[in-house]
Structures are given as C-alpha cells and as structure tokens.
Amino acid sequence: PRPILLTRHGESRDNVRGRIGGDTALSEAGDLYAKKLANFVEKRLKSERTASIWTSTLQRTILTASPIVGFPKIQWRALDEINAGVCDGMTYEEIKKNMPEEYESRKKDKLRYRYPRGESYLDVIQRLEPVIIELERQRAPVVVISHQAVLRALYAYFADRPLKEIPHIEVPLHTIIEIQMGVTGVQEKRYKLMD
Ligand code: F6P
C-alpha cells in the first residue's frame, strides 16, 4: 500500500473575506497550517525513499507547500481551483444580489452549472483525468495540495462516490485526507491539524 495525501491549501486571505477564486497569499492561520503540514509530511513520509508534492499553479498552494523540504514539487494547472469566470473574486452574497439568476441556476444543478466564462464541476472532473492517470501510475506516495472543488472531484474518484454528490462532499480546510491504495481496496483516514 502507498498513501496519497490530499489537502486544501492553508487558509487564504480571500477565504477570510469570503471571496471565491482569486490568487491571494495565506492568512496567519494558513501560514501556521503550512508549517504543521510540513511537520506531518516529514514524519509520515520519513521512511519513503521517493515521494512528491503536487500543487496547483496558484500562490496559496505553492506557499502551503513551501515549508516542506526534501521532496520534489510539481505544479499542475489541472489542479487549479474551479474557474468562477465573471464571478471570480466575488462573495456568494454578492453573486446572489447582483446575479440572482446565476445564483439560482447554480443552486439547482451545482454539478452541471458553468460560470459565465468559467467552468462547471463537470469541466473540472474532465480536466483532472491526466492527473488521475498519473496518480494511479505512481508507485511512491504523493501529497496533493489543491483546492476545494478539485479535491472533491479527486476524492470522489478514489472513494468511489457518485457524480451527483461531488459538489457537496465535505473537504474542510486544515485537514489531511489520507488514502491508502492497497490490494484489498481503498482505505481512508482524516487528520485535522487545526481548527
Ligand atoms: O471558497 C473557496 C473556494 O475554493 C473557491 O475559490 C471556489 O470557488 C469554491 O471554494 C468552490 O466551492 P463551491 O463549489 O462550493 O462554491
């Protein structure tokens, strides 16, 4: 068995303000998580000769990976957060107030809803295919530091959860989801490193 560790980036400045998308740096709490994650990964993967750290191309995942030393890091555009198009940088409140029809259509069918000039969950699931193929091919552990929507899709793939559940799966901040791929199937553990 070899572990795949899935985690969101540490809390970002946009998370604090409730803004979606964007490319902000980490909050103080987010910085602290990055340090705790590095500790965890160094202990957990100490005995592994090879392992790699995969991030998106967005600052908040790269900064979350930065305290981890001793493992190669790879940036994937396919791990970037769902593109909220014209809604990028807005709060859910602002979308509800300024674009009530968009807000309602997303609520009705969050899986298929595509942000104007952005993506849907189905789009995200599709662009993750090469990442999943590469994750399956790896023999060594991988730490994936990505974003809420993307991790919902990745997690659903490994945990064999139905498509329609994907946009609603709980993937909290500051929590590591460890997936063990063994001959007998997939096992899961969650480590909440901080609130
Ligand atoms: O709020 C954090 C965030 O990662 C946003 O950048 C993104 O748009 C959102 O979560 C995805 O979650 P949901 O699909 O529930 O809006």
Given a cut of 90, is residue 175 above it in pLDDT? yes
The answer to whether 87 and 102 have CB atoms below 8 angstroms apart is: yes
185 pLDDT tier (thresholds 50, 70, 90): confident
DSSP notation for 167-194: GG----TTEEEEEEEETTEEEEEEEE--
Which residue's alpha carbon is nearest to atom 14 within ligand 1? 149
Please give the share of the chain, as a percent, with pLDDT higher than 90. Answer: 93
Q: Helix, strand or coil for residue 119?
A: coil
Which atom number of ligand 1 is nearest to the Cα of residue 12?
Answer: 2
Between the CA of 50 and the centroid of ligand 1 the distance, in Å, is 32
Average pLDDT over residues 125-148: 97
183 pLDDT tier (thresholds 50, 70, 90): confident
Between the CA of 49 and the centroid of ligand 1 the distance, in Å, is 35
For residue 89, give both structure tokens: 């940088």
Whether 22 is in the pocket of ligand 1, judged by its Cβ within 6 Å, is no
Which residue's alpha carbon is nearest to atom 12 within ligand 1? 149
Residues with a known catalytic role: 8-9, 15, 60, 81, 147
Which residue's alpha carbon is nearest to atom 1 within ligand 1? 20
**Predicted ipTM?**
0.99
Cα distances (angstroms) measured from residue 118 to each of 46, 61, 99, 122, 190: 40, 20, 15, 12, 31
pTM for this model (two decimals): 0.97
